[in-house]
Amino acid sequence: MKIPLTILLLLLLTSCVTSPKEGVYTIGFLDAVEDSTLGLARKGFQDALEERGYSKKDNNLEILFRNAQGDMNTLIQSLQFFTTRGVDLIAANSTLSTISAVQRSGDIPVCMMVAPEPYMAGLTDSEGNNPKNLFGVYETLNYIDTSVQMILEWLPDVTTIGLVYNQAETQSLNALERIKQTANRLGIEVFALPVTNSSETQLVTQSLIEREIDVFFAMPDNIIFSSFEVILRLCNRAEIPVFSSESGLVARGAVAAFGADFYSWGHQAGLLAADFFDSNKSDLPPIQEVIVRNKIYNPEAVSNLGLDIPKGFQAFIN
């Protein structure tokens, strides 16, 4: 006897959604893209929880990991899975994950990380109030000024900066505006080209290189994170230094960065999640600005380009 396909699908779905275990908190951890930089935040988040006594080995925590791989439908389906499962908390890693989680989580608390202030992500109401179920750790754009000025510490004669920005991401557009203002004040010309997905990055980066830019600045957005190796390969071939505001990109080959340490960012968010569980889910922690920012450089990239190391920078050690 053949079982109808619709019944098979229903059985499959119901088998994947199990009831929460008594005495065990459940977190739905959502990544928008597969990215080693975001992976640092994920590791920091888990480590902080384990340090506070919440882990699988302590028999009191289950983390359900989902990665949308850059696909919006998969992102939505992941959130639907979390809500159906009835998780105690959604951990949102990146701007897109945070926005989507707040919009689709219902009353489930959302812990944000690797994302901007809620108002920059369009998450505040008309009176400027944050969502009632949101807490976690955000970054402001104030650090962008220092990140751009940092380039002159390495290369005082820079006159042009090239960058790629995600025209569909508010954080990227806001950062672009801030960079232009800072660069203009420093007498540096900015060549900026838009992309809508990572498949466009190679062609756009090549166009910037053909304009003979002095340096490339890697923006803080998901498209840059997911296609950084493409950008780096092209810039290295043209002997164009790559700088960033994201310390995680230094680990992947950028010359230097001033910005939030992604592991520490996730760790700070994980401590807040632990506070939430300590209160037996009765007290929602506050939204905090990221604490740890570093000036770091990649020794291999610096050596390959023959650059002198300015004072105040720490070597990234893998």
| Residue 167: DSSP 8-state | T
What are the percentages of helix, strand and coil residues in the chain, rounded to 5? 45, 20, 35
pLDDT band at 20 (very low <50, low <70, confident <90, very high): low
pLDDT band at 304 (very low <50, low <70, confident <90, very high): very high
Q: What is the pTM of this model?
A: 0.79
**The pLDDT of residue 259:** 86
How would residue 217 be classed by pLDDT, with cut points 50, 70 and 90? Answer: very high
* pLDDT tens digits, 74-120: 999 999 999 999 999 999 999 999 999 999 998 999 999 999 899 98
pLDDT(312) > 70: yes
**Residue tagged 């590791």 (tokens):** 43
Determine contact, residues 262/247, Cβ cutoff 8 Å. Answer: yes
The full set of domains in the chain, from first to last, is 23-139+262-291 (3.40.50.2300), 142-260+295-315 (3.40.50.2300)
| pLDDT computed for residue 21 by the predictor | 64
Between 251 and 213, the higher pLDDT residue:
213
What pLDDT shows up at residue 144?
86
Burial class (CB in 10 A: 0-12, 13-18, 19+), 208: buried
Examine the pLDDT at 8 and tell me if it is beyond 80: no
CA-to-CA separations, 261 to 267, 293, 294, in angstroms, rounded? 10, 6, 6
Nearest to 143 by CA among 165, 168, 116, 163: 116
Integer Cα distance of 74 and 68 in angstroms: 5
Asked if the model's pLDDT at residue 7 lies above 80, the reply is: no
Mean pLDDT confidence for 5-34:
66
Read off the pLDDT of residues 176-201 as tens digits, 9 standing for 90 and up: 999 999 999 999 999 999 998 889 99
pLDDT value of position 221: 81
| DSSP codes joined into one string, 42-91 | HHHHHHHHHHTT-STTTTSEEEEEEE-TT-HHHHHHHHHHHHHHT-SEEE
